Structure 1
Amino acid sequence: MGVANNITAVLNFIAFLCSIPIIAAGIWLASKPDNECIHFYRWPVVILGFLILLVSLAGFVGAYWYKETLLAFYLCCMAILIGLLLILLVFAFVVTRADGGYDVPGRGYKEYRVEGFSSWLRDHIVNSKNWNGIRACLVESDVCAKLSQNYISADQFFMAHISPLQARCCKPPTACGYNYVNPTLWINPVNPTADPDCYLWNNDQNQLCYNCNSCKAGLLGNLRKEWRKANIILIVAVVVLIWVYIIACSAFKNAQTEDLFRRYKQGWA
């Protein structure tokens, strides 16, 4: 095996390693309660990661045994996959750029407004016909049940850094003035504010604030927070993949040159 093929094989092994954090990030996203309830958006990162893994293995085999057709297939497919990963990254940054969160005095967590998020997220998730299914899924999850297990006193709960989903689906909005009993049980105020969510809150553990607009905002807040974290891993992976791809293209050309030179020498021998 020539030097250029050795380099290409090593580069494909690096690309194979890059696929692992991509798959891990995708599985982490898919395992979150909010993503579990939004079935259409759970798996794109995982699928891309597995495709990169398979294509990298094909490139490694092609380089090790110098299968020119397989190497050409690898270079073509990897260019497409890197392009798709870049599109996904740009799209995720655009739709999660707007943040509907705002600080609440005396609270360790933020609360969220639906209007503060991108129109795409609002139109395709919380304002879509899928919300009833998402809501039912959230009710069945243990998102709110965990709060009662982890926090007892009001001071402990108010200073906690709970997730956006928990802050908006599991408790009434702070502005409503409800009195704390436990994280998912609150006493009605005498004169609640005019916010419609104040009247939608219910101490029934299957209702809570799942019918509130604030719960939709909490879901979007969770999605934004999780995708922004995953994007850091994806950015590093895509930079390494682009670097590997550029060098692999150069090595492939050098391997072809080596092969032509070898054949030329054999022809004159």
Structure 2
Amino acid sequence: MVRFSNNLIGFLNIITLLLSIPILSGGIWLGRRASTDCEKFLQGPIIAIGVFLLLVSIVGIVGACCRNSCLLWIYLLVMFILIILLFCFTIFAFVVTNKGAGDAVSGRGFKEYRLGDYSNWLQKRMENSKNWRRIRSCIQDSDVCQSLQKNESFNQFVNNNLSPIQSGCCKPPTDCNFTYVNETYWNKPAGFTSSDIQDCNTWSNDQSALCYDCQSCRAGVLANIKNDWKKVAIVNIIFLIFLIIVYSIGCCAFRNNRKDNSYTGYNKAYP
């Protein structure tokens, strides 16, 4: 008789199996239509997650419903490793995003961001040219700067509550003292040759360049990552609790399998 814990593990893995199909299909679809670095970057992780969920679900279903102790042991081992990795990632996310915050600018409705305010680990990820090329591509594809073009007056613009990426990537730093023309077009003052602020020299009115290669743009991305990782870490805690519960149920199912197998073996030995 298949016990309650086996049935429950089987049911949960059927749900996971059904969930893995649209995830895997979405990754394959994205791979076929990918035309930018941003889309190609997303394709790999999505397919990997879909395949992982599919395989683990199949192992869990067969192990629980067919009372296969070997497969169920493999399932529990994978679950245990996943719990450890998820726990470590959650702690890591809180640690690396502990530093860094936007600086309020007098008379402005937005904050500005500096790369040096964030953890060294995050800074190195942003300074890696391969990583930044992909992130830059994603920012350009999202048209985050083009969405600012509302032909506002300067006073209207500076009172906007810009997102970290808009503040860091779509305009020059306030300390550059550039002349406002529109939201993404700023003139350098007459006689401007160089500045102590690197981003002032990096800024370009070319709409495909703007401040995408500025340190402030990298800092704006990190501000977004910090906010997102904090949210992900909270979700991970909830998911971690769920995984521990499933793992505990799986242990009960594994114990049931061993008891049933021992009982079957005993009956065969002593008919």
Relative to the length of structure 2, the TM-score reads 0.75
User: Relative to structure 1, is the Cα distance of residues 56 and 160 closer, same or farther in structure 2, using a 3 angstrom cutoff?
Assistant: farther
Q: Please tell me whether the aligned partners of residues 12 and 60 of structure 1 are also in contact (alpha carbons under 8 angstroms).
A: yes
Name the stretch that deviates more: 104-113 or 46-55: 46-55
Q: Please tell me whether the aligned partners of residues 37 and 137 of structure 1 are also in contact (alpha carbons under 8 angstroms).
A: no
Q: 1:196 maps to what in 2?
A: 198
- Which structure exhibits the higher relative contact order, with contacts defined as CA atoms closer than 8 Å and separated by 6 or more residues? 1
Q: 1:219 maps to what in 2?
A: 221
Q: Please tell me whether the aligned partners of residues 18 and 240 of structure 1 are also in contact (alpha carbons under 8 angstroms).
A: no
Matched, 1:162 2:162: yes
Root-mean-square deviation (CA), in Å? 3.6
User: Relative to structure 1, is the Cα distance of residues 83 and 132 closer, same or farther in structure 2, using a 3 angstrom cutoff?
Assistant: closer
Q: 1:242 maps to what in 2?
A: 244
User: Relative to structure 1, is the Cα distance of residues 83 and 91 closer, same or farther in structure 2, using a 3 angstrom cutoff?
Assistant: same
Q: 2:147 maps to what in 1?
A: 146
Q: Please tell me whether the aligned partners of residues 48 and 81 of structure 1 are also in contact (alpha carbons under 8 angstroms).
A: no
User: Relative to structure 1, is the Cα distance of residues 265 and 160 closer, same or farther in structure 2, using a 3 angstrom cutoff?
Assistant: farther
3-state SS in 2 of match to 1:186: strand
Query: Offset of 1:235 from its aligned partner?
Result: 2.6
User: Relative to structure 1, is the Cα distance of residues 257 and 56 closer, same or farther in structure 2, using a 3 angstrom cutoff?
Assistant: same
> Could you report, residue by residue, the CA deviation over 1:136-172 in whole angstroms, capped at 9, with x for unpaired residues?
63674323222216x7344553343333122111101
Query: Offset of 1:257 from its aligned partner?
Result: 1.7
Structure 1's unaligned 5+ residue stretches are 27-34
Question: 2:238 is matched by which residue type in structure 1?
Answer: V
Alignment of 1:109-120 (within 5 A): 109-120=110-121
Matched, 1:125 2:107: no
Name the stretch that deviates more: 111-120 or 5-14: 5-14
User: Relative to structure 1, is the Cα distance of residues 6 and 72 closer, same or farther in structure 2, using a 3 angstrom cutoff?
Assistant: same
Name the stretch that deviates more: 248-257 or 81-90: 81-90
Q: Please tell me whether the aligned partners of residues 69 and 257 of structure 2 are also in contact (alpha carbons under 8 angstroms).
A: no
Matched, 1:88 2:86: no
Q: 1:30 maps to what in 2?
A: none
Residues paired across the two proteins, number: 255
Question: 1:162 is matched by which residue type in structure 2?
Answer: L
Q: 2:173 maps to what in 1?
A: 173
Q: Distance in 1 between matches of 2:196 and 2:56?
A: 57
> Could you report, residue by residue, the CA deviation over 1:211-265 in whole angstroms, capped at 9, with x for unpaired residues?
3221221222232233333333333222211221022112311332244335545
Alignment of 1:98-109 (within 5 A): 98-109=99-110
Structure 2's unaligned 5+ residue stretches are 28-36
Q: Please tell me whether the aligned partners of residues 15 and 244 of structure 1 are also in contact (alpha carbons under 8 angstroms).
A: no
Q: Given the alignment, which residue of 255, 258, 262 partners 2:257?
A: 255
Q: Distance in 1 between matches of 2:179 and 2:39?
A: 30
Question: 1:125 is matched by which residue type in structure 2?
Answer: M
Q: Distance in 2 between matches of 1:38 and 1:101?
A: 31
Q: Please tell me whether the aligned partners of residues 8 and 63 of structure 1 are also in contact (alpha carbons under 8 angstroms).
A: yes
Q: Distance in 2 between matches of 1:85 and 1:46?
A: 19
Relative to the length of structure 1, the TM-score reads 0.76
